[in-house]
Structure 1
Amino acid sequence: MAKDGCPAMAFRYNGTLCACEPGRYLVNGSCALFETGAGWVVSSGISSAPPTFLTTVLPVDSIKRFTQSQAVLLEATLGALLVWLAFCLALRFTRVDGLWFRLRWWISRSDVFYDTNHWLDDNKVVVKRKTELGGAFSVASSILFVGLLSALLYQIITKRSIEVHRVRPANAPDLLSFVNDLEFSITTISSMSCSHLRGPDSLVIGTPGSIDYRVFPLSTYVEYNCQNTSSGPTIYLRCNSCQIPRRNQYISWQFVDLQNDPAAAVGFRFNLSAKDHANNRHVSFVSGTVNSNTYTDDKPKTFRGSDVNVLKIHLFPQAYNNLNNLKLIQPLFHDFIPGTFFSKSSDLQASLQVSKDGLVNTTLYISYLSDYIVEIDKENMIGIVGFLADIGGLFAFSLAIFLWFLIQCEARIKKLRSEDTAMRNILRQRRAQKNWDKLRKFVMYTWGPSNLVEDNNKSRRHGTLMIESIRGIQALQTKKQPSRHNSTHLDTAKGSSPHSKSRQEKHDIEEDEETRQHNILEISQ
């Protein structure tokens, strides 16, 4: 509180009364500064497109928030491409053994796009062959194609169509088809209330002083009321099933001084909306806040006096052909003409002590731009043929760029030309070694580990055993299951008599013989 009993940022007038300085109004016992904030907001209400198949199936909103632009998709594609090529390059410096060889082998089997004889200058017949380099570039081209395709789909989803505006002259039947519900609200930012309000009472149609000038009671066209808010009195004007008139309209009202409660304002907050009477899903509106700073210097000001504060609104018809011929009246805040205002405390103090300045005049000026109609439609940027052509172009580009790298590598590094043959030879050697290890295990299991030791003194016995084993393998190839007589004969050749063993021992011998036969069949296959 100030020393004189008034709130901070206030002054006295008429000896005992307090008033806030210019640009401030009394809120909860203190003088608050009025700020316009974001200014004006204009929206057609048709910015959200109707749902399509892609927007229904795919989480388009989540994709937009995650990507924000095509650059993120392209950067992710480039990152994945570099990681894959670095992995393939590091794999070539590892040992050709175990897991590393299997990885290199499967990379070579991934050569699905370049699996021909890459080096064409060797005067040989072109044959199918797969290489590790071709497999690496095949996967790399797939990564590039998927990344470019994702960027293309993102572009189609976000910018699949463009909005086209066409302007054509309007005639009377066209204008009569625009039937909208209009609602206008304006808040006079101040410490006043609806008890200060005088009017609005009349609706003026036409230009004052012209031959078409008319004055009608406001209640015959518009419903209005006033409500008190924390920011000041709010006036609501509503018109249901309004048609576009041929002339301009004016609606005026005033706030006057009450005893020990002067009329003064620091700004205006407005909102004007329009919607089709038969379709409530789409609304066109304009909203915002204005004060004298809008067109003059930025000093805080207070409106008070006989001059009129004019809010000029333009309304023009728009026909949305892409939304079942929806017809909306689009509002647009065109201009604000400030009335009498004060920016100095001394001038405002002098005005508060003069009774003739005790009012705030406000006029709503509505101008209908009904000479033309704006027709709005949407046209697709790309069709199915263009989409398939783009996919084919991306695929060809992805293959061509890595084919060029492949040719350059094979032209400069001769070792890469016979890469497939080297990989196959390594694979054959690994398979032969694996089969030989199986054969050694079978011989050790059947005749004991001593038969694998080469001894010149026992060469005759070793040769006999090998001949017998070969004969046994040939016999197993001709007959899948040997008879009980052959099993008995093999037991006799080893020096064991079947009649001297019990029934359980005979059963164990037969099981061992079946296991040997199974191992021999695996080796033969």
Structure 2
Amino acid sequence: MSCPSNAFGYNGSYCACEPGYWRQHNGSCALFSGGGSDWITSSGVGSSSTVFSTVLPLENIRRFTQSQAVLLEATLALLLVWLFFCFLIRFAPLRSGRNSVWFRLRWWISRFDFFFSTEHWLDDNKVVVKRKTELGGTFSVASWILFVGLFSALLYQMITKRSIEVHRLIPANLPDLQSFVNDLEFNITIFSSMSCSQLRGLDTLVIGTPGTIEYRVLSLSTYVDYQCKNTSSGPTISLKCTSCQIPRRNHYISWQFVDIPNAPAMAVGFQFNISSKDHNNEKHISFVSGILITHNHTNDKPRTFRGADLNILEVHLFPQIYKNLHDLKLIKPLVHDFVSGSSFSEVAELQASLLNPKDGLINTTLRVSYLSDYMVEIDKENVMGPVGFLANVGGIYSVSIAIFLYLLVQCEARIKKLRNEDNLLRKIKSQRRAQCNWEKLRKYVIYTWHPSILNDKNSNNNQNSLMLNSCCGVRSLHRKQLSRGGSLPIDKLFLNSNEATIAWLLIMNRVHERHGVDA
């Protein structure tokens, strides 16, 4: 007969997968990897929530910033980029401030001088003036970048490492152990192509060590609820115990999977998922889960479990009291050991086992015990309180300012050109403002009267008229003409006034052109 890839025939009409391979739904055989051999164990309370976790996306923050080094490196990179940009922009031409992007950038950088405007170089015997310079603006923004970066690292530390967990080992006695009432659940999945119809013997609970006086054999249904479910990965055995106390003796639960026609009893791995939660408080769960793959053996070849030898999983139940959670009492499960039973790594050995009726089963035993001598008392102590946090914020702020204040003082003390560097930008800004105001006046004069009025000839006549009127007195001349019986039209009087105004504006224009300041 023909069998699929990675399979072999046995008993003349059946096919079985090679060691380490298991049958899929489409009939093919695939190598079982299990996704890794790491066991996952909770730190105590798996579903606990805090105020920060409900307000801030802490999981996203932890993924983005695995440590404070990421925040500090980002802060340093941004700081260097800002300082390098400000260093390069000082070499750009100002062009007297007219339509210059570089002048506007340098001007606004000088406006950012918030911290050092009164800390610049001061000459003796001069009035202290609040100055805003480009160098001060550069270092002020750099101080903010450093402060925000360090503050972010401090805030991340406060969120993720604001407290430490303290474990104390205390002696245990019978009343303390009886006060632990938890809901325990054991889920064991056997990775195989078997089904629950092959399950046998899951109905007995053994208490105590065989051969001792405390040895008991009881019905499993009187202690736990058990069932078998068929899943895509194989049969899953579920054991649930509601309001269970810590067992004071070893408990053994055994079961078997046997051969049925066209469905041999063999498996490639086991998955264990054991959880515990307080009966009256379902928010907090203590659990352990993991997958045992065949590569965990000393022989790295893929293996298949089958045969009469027992596969034993040893689980310890450890009592823990959480003082920080209102004396929450949880029974923490710990996987102590797994003793592998019969298994095969060669095709010939597995083929011979399939033909041997004595090997037609998988024996599995769950051994549950507890550590009765001591209990663990868990509490959390805050590393940083509100006063310490505020003190750290103040220290970060002071350090950020002090570093760049020292750099500012050193730069201005060693480079004399930087002591009065604000004069150049302020002078250019003043000239631009004066030019803008004067252009507005020129447009007003042109629009109100006539462009020819601003010619040099008319300007000279207007200036002479203004000087004559100022010396002899325009109003007295008008009075004399009116007293002699002469008549002066009203529009002539207004014209003389306009000429005087225009002449004054032209004089101010000459002053502006000579000195370049706003008169």
Question: When the two structures are superposed, what TM-score results if normalisation uses the length of structure 1?
Answer: 0.80
Report the alpha carbon displacement of residue 210 of structure 1 after superposing the two structures with TM: 2.5
Matches within 5 A, 1:46-61: 46-47=45-46, 49-52=48-51, 54-61=52-59
The change in CA–CA distance for 1:426 and 1:249 in structure 2 (over 3 A counts) is: same
Report the alpha carbon displacement of residue 190 of structure 1 after superposing the two structures with TM: 2.9
Assess if the C-alpha contact under 8 Å between 1:291 and 1:338 holds in 2: no
Alpha-carbon distance between aligned partners in 2 of 1:494 and 1:440, rounded to the nearest angstrom:
34
SS in 1 for 2:324: coil
Percent identity, aligned pairs only, is 60
Alpha-carbon distance between aligned partners in 2 of 1:472 and 1:314, rounded to the nearest angstrom:
116
Name structure 1 gaps, 5 residues minimum.
Answer: 475-484, 501-505
The change in CA–CA distance for 1:335 and 1:465 in structure 2 (over 3 A counts) is: same
Divergent runs of 4+, >6 A: 438-444, 469-474
Residue 85 of structure 1 is matched in structure 2 by 83
Which residue type is aligned with residue 174 of structure 1?
Answer: D
Residue 175 of structure 2 is matched in structure 1 by 173
- Out of 19, 24, 27, the position equivalent to 2:21 is 24
Choose 276-285 or 150-159, whichever is displaced more: 150-159
- Out of 186, 190, 197, the position equivalent to 2:188 is 186
Assess if the C-alpha contact under 8 Å between 2:97 and 2:428 holds in 1: no
Question: 1:238-272 CA distances to partner (integer Å, 9 max, x unpaired)?
Answer: 11110002111111112233356543333322222
Alpha-carbon distance between aligned partners in 1 of 2:69 and 2:308, rounded to the nearest angstrom:
58
Residue 94 of structure 1 is matched in structure 2 by 93
SS in 1 for 2:217: strand
Residue 144 of structure 1 is matched in structure 2 by 146
Alpha-carbon distance between aligned partners in 1 of 2:242 and 2:2, rounded to the nearest angstrom:
50
Report the alpha carbon displacement of residue 118 of structure 1 after superposing the two structures with TM: 3.2
Assess if the C-alpha contact under 8 Å between 2:46 and 2:287 holds in 1: no
Report the alpha carbon displacement of residue 316 of structure 1 after superposing the two structures with TM: 0.9
Assess if the C-alpha contact under 8 Å between 1:443 and 1:449 holds in 2: no
Which residue type is aligned with residue 269 of structure 1?
Answer: Q
RMSD: 4.0
Report the alpha carbon displacement of residue 455 of structure 1 after superposing the two structures with TM: 8.9
Alpha-carbon distance between aligned partners in 1 of 2:126 and 2:307, rounded to the nearest angstrom:
100
Alpha-carbon distance between aligned partners in 1 of 2:173 and 2:120, rounded to the nearest angstrom:
72
Residue 197 of structure 1 is matched in structure 2 by 199
* 1:462 aligned onto 2:459: no
Alpha-carbon distance between aligned partners in 1 of 2:265 and 2:473, rounded to the nearest angstrom:
122
The change in CA–CA distance for 1:470 and 1:59 in structure 2 (over 3 A counts) is: farther
Report the alpha carbon displacement of residue 307 of structure 1 after superposing the two structures with TM: 1.6
Alpha-carbon distance between aligned partners in 2 of 1:150 and 1:61, rounded to the nearest angstrom:
16
Report the alpha carbon displacement of residue 63 of structure 1 after superposing the two structures with TM: 4.2
* 1:43 aligned onto 2:62: no
Which residue type is aligned with residue 244 of structure 1?
Answer: I
Which residue type is aligned with residue 234 of structure 2?
Answer: G
- Out of 116, 119, 122, the position equivalent to 2:118 is 116
Assess if the C-alpha contact under 8 Å between 1:117 and 1:126 holds in 2: no
The change in CA–CA distance for 1:466 and 1:190 in structure 2 (over 3 A counts) is: same
The change in CA–CA distance for 1:493 and 1:290 in structure 2 (over 3 A counts) is: farther
SS in 1 for 2:202: coil
Assess if the C-alpha contact under 8 Å between 2:191 and 2:269 holds in 1: yes
Which residue type is aligned with residue 343 of structure 1?
Answer: S
Report the alpha carbon displacement of residue 72 of structure 1 after superposing the two structures with TM: 4.0
- Out of 328, 331, 342, the position equivalent to 2:330 is 328
* 1:266 aligned onto 2:263: no
Alpha-carbon distance between aligned partners in 2 of 1:203 and 1:429, rounded to the nearest angstrom:
99
SS in 1 for 2:419: helix
* 1:212 aligned onto 2:214: yes
Matches within 5 A, 1:357-506: 357-427=359-429, 449-450=452-453, 453=456, 462-466=463-467, 468=469, 496-497=489-490
Question: 1:62-106 CA distances to partner (integer Å, 9 max, x unpaired)?
Answer: 544554543443344334434433443414642242465555445
Alpha-carbon distance between aligned partners in 2 of 1:154 and 1:494, rounded to the nearest angstrom:
90
SS in 1 for 2:412: helix
Alpha-carbon distance between aligned partners in 1 of 2:10 and 2:68, rounded to the nearest angstrom:
64
- Out of 287, 290, 294, the position equivalent to 1:288 is 290
Choose 175-184 or 60-69, whichever is displaced more: 60-69
Assess if the C-alpha contact under 8 Å between 1:451 and 1:462 holds in 2: no
Question: When the two structures are superposed, what TM-score results if normalisation uses the length of structure 2?
Answer: 0.80
Residue 479 of structure 1 is matched in structure 2 by none
Alpha-carbon distance between aligned partners in 2 of 1:192 and 1:280, rounded to the nearest angstrom:
34
The change in CA–CA distance for 1:230 and 1:58 in structure 2 (over 3 A counts) is: closer
The change in CA–CA distance for 1:380 and 1:497 in structure 2 (over 3 A counts) is: same
Pairs aligned (count): 490
Residue 277 of structure 1 is matched in structure 2 by 279
SS in 2 for 1:322: helix
Question: 1:220-244 CA distances to partner (integer Å, 9 max, x unpaired)?
Answer: 1111122233433322211111000
Residue 513 of structure 2 is matched in structure 1 by none
* 1:34 aligned onto 2:37: no
SS in 2 for 1:462: helix
The change in CA–CA distance for 1:125 and 1:231 in structure 2 (over 3 A counts) is: same
Report the alpha carbon displacement of residue 147 of structure 1 after superposing the two structures with TM: 2.2
Alpha-carbon distance between aligned partners in 2 of 1:185 and 1:443, rounded to the nearest angstrom:
95
Assess if the C-alpha contact under 8 Å between 2:228 and 2:235 holds in 1: yes
Which residue type is aligned with residue 463 of structure 1?
Answer: N
Choose 215-224 or 105-114, whichever is displaced more: 105-114
The change in CA–CA distance for 1:451 and 1:264 in structure 2 (over 3 A counts) is: closer
Residue 311 of structure 1 is matched in structure 2 by 313
Assess if the C-alpha contact under 8 Å between 2:110 and 2:134 holds in 1: yes
